[in-house]
Structures are given as C-alpha cells and as structure tokens.
Amino acid sequence: MRLTTALPFVLLALLAGCAPTAPSEAPDSESITESTVVPTATETPTPTANPAPVVATCENLLEPAHLAQLQASGIGVNPSPEYTQKVTGYDSQFSHFIPYGGVMCPVSNGYSVAWLYGYSPIAPDLQAVEVSRLESSGWLPNEHDGGTLYSDPAVGEGIVFLYYFRDGHWWCADTMDHLTEVVANSPAT
C-alpha cells in the first residue's frame, strides 16, 4: 500500500521537472567578450577576366561544316595579299571592309574567285557614304530583320549581290543563305 500512496508524489515530482522555467536574463553587452562573438565567413567574390572580344575571320564567319566542305573541295576562303591589293586598287565597295576593321573573304579555288563575303563594323558617316554609293549604282534597299538589305537588281557578273547594314555593322555575300550564315556568325550577333 505504501507504493500506491507514494506514486502520486513521484508523478508530481517528475512533472515538475518538465515545467517551463523562467527565462534567464540576457547578459549585458559589456559582458560579451570578443571570444564569444563568432564572426561569420563572407565569401570573397572571384574576379572574372573580361573575355577577349571575338575577332571576325574568314573561317569563323562560316559554319564549321560549311567551311570543312569548302576545304575538302580544295576551295580556300582567305584573301591573298595580291588579291586584296588588286581589289583595293579598283576601289570596289567590298574592299572597304578591311580598312573599316573587318574582313573580305574571297571563296576561291586558287585560280578564280567564285563568290565573296565580308563583315566589318561601320561608323554612321561611313555607312552614309557606302549607302550613297550603292544607291547611285542602282542597288535597291529593303527593310530586313531590323536593318537595311541592298540587292543588285542586275545580278550581273559580280561576286557580291547583297549588302546588309544593321546597328553599326555591315555584311556582304552572294546569296541570302550565305549572308544569313555570315551575319549569324559575326561578332555583331
């Protein structure tokens, strides 16, 4: 019988240990020492190098598969210094791509140029000169993909039939497919 009488007191003692206690007071800010403050680690950002600007080359203006196909056929895409000098001497419009900071790329089997493509940035005043030359020669302007596309209405014996200007850049090619490829692979895109 003693056990049954003591049981309620044991339960009360156990339950008293589970009761919440009064919160302890926080220490003064003066009593906190440096050793008790744990600094948080901050991540130092890693500086990233500015990527080198993409420079247009006759090779990187074409899709790799297209370039490989041309090369497998024995066709090159780089102008020889003699060809560049010859074209510059005629003051051909496409020869202006080089002095404007771009490239002019003849597609040639080594004996004759089949077609040509080019790209360069162009300042607004120089664009006005080039557009004036095209229009005075009868080239027709059309709005195209946010820019102006000039096409040769005669589609004569030339090796460039399209010039395209957009956002301070210009391109040339012989067909719309080639022009689209060159625009897509140029640093301007």
Span between the terminal Cα atoms of the chain, in Å: 95
Residue-level pLDDT at 11: 38
pLDDT digits (tens, 9 = 90+) for 72-121: 998 888 877 777 777 776 767 888 898 899 999 999 887 788 889 999 99
What pLDDT is attached to residue 6? Answer: 45
3 and 10 Cβ atoms separated by less than 8 Å: no
User: Which residues are CB-contacts of 123 (< 8 A; sequence separation ≥ 6)?
Assistant: 100, 168
pLDDT of residue 15: 42
* pLDDT per position as a tens digit, 50-63: 555 678 999 999 99
Q: What is the pTM of this model?
A: 0.69
More confident residue, 67 or 89: 67
What digits encode the pLDDT tens for the residues 3-35?
444 444 443 444 445 445 554 555 454 544 555
The chain-wide mean pLDDT, for the chain, equals: 78
pLDDT at 28: 53
pLDDT, average across residues 153-178: 89
Question: Which residues 6+ apart lie within 8 Å of 161 measured at CB?
Answer: 151, 152, 155, 173, 174, 175
